[in-house]
Amino acid sequence: MRENLYDLIAANKRKTFIFIIVTSLFLGVLGYVVVELLNWGTAGYVFFALFIIIYNFVLYYNSDKIAIASTGSVPADPEEFKQLHNVVEEVAIAAGIPKPKVYITPTPAPNAFATGRNSQHASIAVTTGLLEIMNREELQGVIAHEMAHIRNYDILLMTVVAAIGGLIVLLRDFFLRGMFYGGKRKDSRRGGSSGGILLLIGLVLAIIAPLFVALIRAAISRQREYLADASGAYITRYPQGLAQALSKLKQSYQPMARASQSNAHLFISSPFGKDRFNVSNMFATHPPIDKRIERLNNLVL
């Protein structure tokens, strides 16, 4: 079935929105349970609200520096990497955003990622391995995919998702600790049933929280990958370039040494190599490459 790009983008936005709502509700319930159980009162809510805001703020302003540093990327020399600079500038013009800063990640694994809190403060990094195997058109496709991540504000979204995820786990720890040390006082005063129900809810949430976080993050990341493929193809109006690049990436799948869970979603293909996520694709940050190529080939621009 051939899909219209605008439908695809709309569907992706809708799904992402639902994910965020569900996650926020989950966070709200968990926060409520913790604050009530530990009898922190209003101060507890204020503390959590402040914590969420500050946590997000710090992450938001440093997301690019963290990603660049954690992968060991260095600025790309404009003379040595003339073609790369040219391609990035071309695609930036097509996307109608300023040219992002260009970085080189010295590793033989072919991959690329984008980072930055908005299109005015964005960076794109490609690995030396990628430059070796891609021709000009394929490189353009890869850069367009990264440019789409920047223009779609994916970095911001994933930062928020990661922050919510971290917070859920943190709340769970508060809850577990509180239950063992301080929780009893309150239960006896309230005398029973409502406290008991809260305790039960808290326990169930504590068990499923980390699983839930991983699932949500992976699901959002996968949606954004499809969306970046589609809007990348729309930027260059040439889906074949990216499709070819993806099939090359598939052939030379190899893990990156300095990738971690926290930046996996930024890359164009999963930085962990083939095996790590074979167990179940529900936890994968990237959709299967074959499916991505298939979608690109079915795209109507």
Partner 1 sequence: MILLLIIIILLVIWIIAIYNSLVVKRTRVDNGWAQIDVQLKRRYDLIPNLVETVKGYAAHEKEVLEKVAELRSRAMGATNPKESAEANNMLTATLKTLFAVAENYPQLKANENFMRLQEELTATENKIAFARQFYNDVVMDYNATIQKFPQTIIASMLNFKAREFFEAPAEEREAVKVKF
Strand partners, 127: 105
- Under rule CB under 8 A, residue 238 binds partner 1: yes
In order, the DSSP letters of 68-126 are: HHHTT-EEPPTTTTHHHHHHHHHHHHHHTSPPPEEEEE--SS--EEEEESSTTSEEEEE
For partner 1, the binding residue among 40, 90, 153, 291 (CB under 8 A) is: 90
- Under rule CB under 8 A, residue 300 binds partner 1: no
**CB-wise, 30 or 230, nearer to partner 1?**
230
Contacts of 193 (CB under 8 A, 6+ apart): none
**CB-wise, 25 or 93, nearer to partner 1?**
93
Supply the minimum distance, in Å, between the C-beta of residue 244 and partner 1.
Answer: 13
What is the β-pairing status of strands 101-105 and 122-127? parallel
- Under rule CB under 8 A, residue 236 binds partner 1: yes
**CB-wise, 33 or 88, nearer to partner 1?**
88
For partner 1, the binding residue among 32, 89, 119, 169 (CB under 8 A) is: 89
- Under rule CB under 8 A, residue 86 binds partner 1: yes
Tokens standing for residue 116: 């930055």
- Under rule CB under 8 A, residue 237 binds partner 1: yes
Supply the minimum distance, in Å, between the C-beta of residue 82 and partner 1.
Answer: 7
For partner 1, the binding residue among 93, 197, 257, 282 (CB under 8 A) is: 93
- Under rule CB under 8 A, residue 65 binds partner 1: no
For partner 1, the binding residue among 27, 37, 87, 160 (CB under 8 A) is: 87
Supply the minimum distance, in Å, between the C-beta of residue 150 and partner 1.
Answer: 15
* Cβ atoms 107, 125 nearer than 8 A: no
Residues written for the chain = 301
DSSP letter, residue 140:
H
**CB-wise, 91 or 109, nearer to partner 1?**
91
Contacts of 246 (CB under 8 A, 6+ apart): 269, 289, 292, 293, 296
DSSP reduced 3-state for 192? coil
Q: Cα separation of 106 and 103, whole Å?
A: 10
- Under rule CB under 8 A, residue 109 binds partner 1: no
For partner 1, the binding residue among 28, 75, 78, 96 (CB under 8 A) is: 96
- Under rule CB under 8 A, residue 131 binds partner 1: no
- Which 3-state string (H, E, C) describes 266-297? HECCCCCCCCCCCCCCCCCCCCCHHHHHHHHH
Exposed, middle or buried, 92 (CB in 10 Å: 0-12/13-18/19+)? Answer: buried
- Under rule CB under 8 A, residue 91 binds partner 1: yes
Among the residue ranges 104-112, 135-143, 183-191, 279-287, the one whose residues contact partner 1 (CB under 8 A): 135-143
- Under rule CB under 8 A, residue 211 binds partner 1: no
Q: Cα separation of 48 and 174, whole Å?
A: 12
For partner 1, the binding residue among 13, 14, 65, 82 (CB under 8 A) is: 82
Q: Among all residues, which ones are annotated catalytic?
A: 146
What are the percentages of helix, strand and coil residues in the chain, rounded to 5? 70, 10, 25
What is the β-pairing status of strands 101-105 and 74-75? antiparallel
Among the residue ranges 34-42, 65-73, 134-142, 155-163, the one whose residues contact partner 1 (CB under 8 A): 134-142
- Point out which residues bind partner 1 (CB under 8 A): 82-83, 86-87, 89-91, 93-96, 136-137, 140, 236-238
